[in-house]
Amino acid sequence: MRFSEEDIRYLIAIQKLRNSENDMRRVPMEEEARLNRQILQGDYQSIRLRPFPLIDSQMGPMAQNPLTHYSYMVVGFITTWSRAVLEKGVTANDSFDLSDALLYSLSLCTNLDEVYEVFQLSAIMFAQIVHEAKQKRPSCQVIQIQNYIIANIYRKITIQDIADYIQLSPNYLCSLFSREMQISLHSYIQREKINISCNLLRHTKRPISDIATYMGFQSQSHFAAVFRKWMGMTPTEYREEQYHDVF
């Protein structure tokens, strides 16, 4: 089915009429703001969510099927929170890994109770990662370094590249990162690349040579050497032991 701008405007008009007839009021912004504050403050222990029926009385339908309707609502919250927590020191990697896991869990829900459970988990777990970030919050420079590595994880990353981006000297950059993160910057880059490589080996059938190139390693042998350093086995051995299809 294809929709035009005229179709959407017609649906808006119909929805306004239904809302008027039912004296429907939108969810108060102050309530949503309160929940957002709790999440951004990392106050996960105080989070109390309204049951879906109470929320439903104050919002318009987004789909004919109630399961789809509430799933859309939860997707909106997860997407919003995954971006908002970045301003509180949560790394993009941690935030989007959580978001992906929650959205995947949501896609498996078959009833409203399960959707509501994902909704609750979403609010609590985003608040928890903010709380954890506050406990071990690195400096803004280290956060910039981590975000740069995430954004460029699929290519070769050099210390000089990062130093130029952050506008710090390479020596100071390495010293700062090691002091705050208790791991050398070079090792951190390797570790992050190997973590993603493990996911590719576990969940895809891509050739190991392709994964090595994709992750920015100089050669398959270099990739294998670094992989063995971190995982204690070769990429082939890891795949044989860990591979399973998620779908």
Band the pLDDT of 18: cuts 50, 70, 90: low
CA nearest to 198, candidates 151, 235, 161: 235
pTM for the structure as a whole: 0.51
pLDDT digits (tens, 9 = 90+) for 101-129: 999 999 999 998 999 999 999 999 999 99
Band the pLDDT of 59: cuts 50, 70, 90: low
Q: Look at the block and give the residue holding tokens 């082939």.
A: 236
| Residue-by-residue DSSP string for 218-238 | S-HHHHHHHHHHHHSS-HHHH
End-to-end CA distance of the chain: 28
Q: What percent of the chain lies above the pLDDT cut of 90?
A: 58
What class is the 140-242 domain? mainly alpha
Task: Indicate if the pLDDT at residue 215 is higher than 60.
Answer: yes
Rounded mean pLDDT, 204-211: 93
Give the C-alpha separation, 127 to 43, whole Å: 6
Residue type, 37: R
Mean model confidence pLDDT for the chain: 85
Residue 232 token pair: 């204690």
In the chain, where does the domain assigned CATH 1.10.10.60 lie? Answer: 140-242
Q: Are 160 and 169 in contact (CB under 8 A)?
A: no
CA nearest to 236, candidates 226, 224, 221, 222: 224
Q: Looking at residue 247, what is its pLDDT?
A: 45
pLDDT digits (tens, 9 = 90+) for 143-200: 899 999 999 999 999 999 999 999 999 999 999 999 888 899 999 999 999 999 999 9
Task: Indicate if the pLDDT at residue 138 is higher than 90.
Answer: no
Looking at residue 18, what DSSP letter applies? H
CA nearest to 95, candidates 137, 130, 143: 130
CA nearest to 74, candidates 120, 12, 111: 120
Q: Is 108 exposed, middle or buried (0-12, 13-18, 19+ CB in 10 A)?
A: exposed
pLDDT digits (tens, 9 = 90+) for 31-40: 778 889 999 9
